Amino acid sequence: MATFIVRRLLLMGLVLFGVSVLMFCILLTFSPERRAAAFVTSPQQARDIPKIIIQYGLDQPVYIQYYRWVKEISAGNFGYSTVAVSPVSEAFMRYLPITIEMNLFSTPLIIIIGIWLGTQAGIHKDKAIDQVTRIFAIIGWSLPTFLFALLLLMIFYGLFKLFPPGVLSNSVEMFIMNNPEQFIRYTGMYVVDGILNGRLDISLDALRHLVLPVVTQVTVVIAILVRVMRSSMIEEMSKDYIITARAKGADRKTTCFKHARKNALLPAVTVAGWLVALSIEGSVTVEVIFNRPGMGQWLVQSATQLDIPVILSVCMFLGLIYVTTNLIIDVLYAYIDPRIQLS
């Protein structure tokens, strides 16, 4: 086990090195003047671009430039974001909680509902619930996330005036802006902060703004989990040990949930990495459509306004998250299923 983890950690370092080279290649497509912005930390510095070009060796050979760039990044200097009007590292702390908050709500729902629906569809193959989940999955599969989100906005905001876009109502937002001492932002997540400050009304308001984003995220990401869970459930149910259990008198419910589902969960773990990637992509789309100032919206705004430092650091950050979660999933998988040989 230990050698497996060490080997995977080394590989992970290699991949992250590759990601940094890839990002550096993207950086190289820009002129030195634009690239200088990646090293700036304040608006005052931005006026002295030629000085920065010399200071950071942007007129030097490529490998020296790469070395210096990595050195800056590992020292925590990610540059200045013109979109956020603050250093990238500061803006990170502001935008990240908004994205995390949404995924804290959507991820458990995806896992619980996904496994439940997949199990039900597998047990009742070709019955009504199977057909319903199939249609549900095809919708999640074929419906572009941004169109689905727009459709939800049209119906539930336009027609029924129920769930508005944004993160908070205007009045609440004004209150927080004008009374920073009455509402302390401990975590940056409004639902949690509302509880911590004893302002449940603010938590409820934030929750109301979370409904549509979470519904979109769940619908789009869940499809793959339901389908995998269904087919692995069907496979397990036809195995000999289930027939033996039934022959010995175990009732259908016990064999389904105590015997088959435990084994059927294993293949579902393998799509976990996929779910992470889908959740990240979903967050980007959902935040753009529902106007939530999180990482995704920041990234898209930076892309349209050529805020290069943001794009590079967000890509590196997401790469780190994705590679780390995949490592955890692999180790977890080996731990759950002792039949798997780690080599």
| From candidates 5, 15, 104, 331, binder to another protein by CB under 8 A | 15
| Under rule CB under 8 A, residue 284 binds another protein | yes
| From candidates 5, 129, 150, 207, binder to another protein by CB under 8 A | 150
Q: In the block, which residue shows the tokens 């619980």?
A: 112
| Under rule CB under 8 A, residue 272 binds another protein | no
Residue 160's CB is within 10 A of a number of other CB atoms, namely 8
Helix (H), strand (E) at residue 87: strand 86-87
| From candidates 13, 144, 243, 244, binder to another protein by CB under 8 A | 144
| From candidates 157, 169, 293, 334, binder to another protein by CB under 8 A | 157
| From candidates 96, 104, 176, 277, binder to another protein by CB under 8 A | 277
| Under rule CB under 8 A, residue 66 binds another protein | no
Give the contacts of 221 (CB within 8 A, at least 6 positions apart).
Answer: 106, 110, 140, 275, 278, 279, 282
Whole-number Å distance between alpha carbons of 263 and 184: 46
| Under rule CB under 8 A, residue 10 binds another protein | no
Whole-number Å distance between alpha carbons of 337 and 306: 46
Whole-number Å distance between alpha carbons of 10 and 4: 10
| Sole window of 92-100, 211-219, 245-253, 273-281 interacting with another protein (rule: CB under 8 A) | 273-281
| Under rule CB under 8 A, residue 145 binds another protein | yes
Q: Smallest Cα–Cα separation from 39: which of 26, 54, 29?
A: 54
CB of 209 to another protein, least distance (A): 15
| Under rule CB under 8 A, residue 153 binds another protein | yes
| Under rule CB under 8 A, residue 265 binds another protein | no
Tally helices (H) and strands (E) across the chain. 16, 2
- DSSP state at residue 37: G
Question: Which amino acid, 39?
Answer: F
Binding flags for another protein, 100-139, as an x/- string (CB under 8 A): --------------------------------------x-
| Under rule CB under 8 A, residue 14 binds another protein | yes
Pair 330, 322: CB distance under 8 Å: no
CA distances from 295 to 51, 77, 223, 299 (A): 31, 18, 24, 6
Pair 191, 203: CB distance under 8 Å: yes
Question: Which amino acid, 58?
Answer: L
| Under rule CB under 8 A, residue 312 binds another protein | yes
Whole-number Å distance between alpha carbons of 25 and 249: 64
| From candidates 52, 91, 214, 314, binder to another protein by CB under 8 A | 314
| Under rule CB under 8 A, residue 19 binds another protein | yes
Whole-number Å distance between alpha carbons of 202 and 207: 9
Strands (E), 148-275: none
CB of 294 to another protein, least distance (A): 14
Quote the radius of gyration of the chain (alpha carbons, Å).
Answer: 24
CB of 334 to another protein, least distance (A): 19
| From candidates 10, 26, 243, 336, binder to another protein by CB under 8 A | 26
| From candidates 3, 29, 179, 341, binder to another protein by CB under 8 A | 29
| Under rule CB under 8 A, residue 96 binds another protein | no
> Greatest CA separation found in the chain?
82
| From candidates 62, 154, 200, 340, binder to another protein by CB under 8 A | 154
| Sole window of 67-75, 125-133, 148-156, 189-197 interacting with another protein (rule: CB under 8 A) | 148-156
Chain residues that interact with another protein, rule: CB under 8 A: 11, 14-16, 18-19, 21-23, 26, 29-30, 138, 141-147, 150-151, 153-154, 157-159, 277, 280-281, 284-285, 288, 299-300, 303-304, 306, 308, 311-312, 314-315, 318-319, 322-323
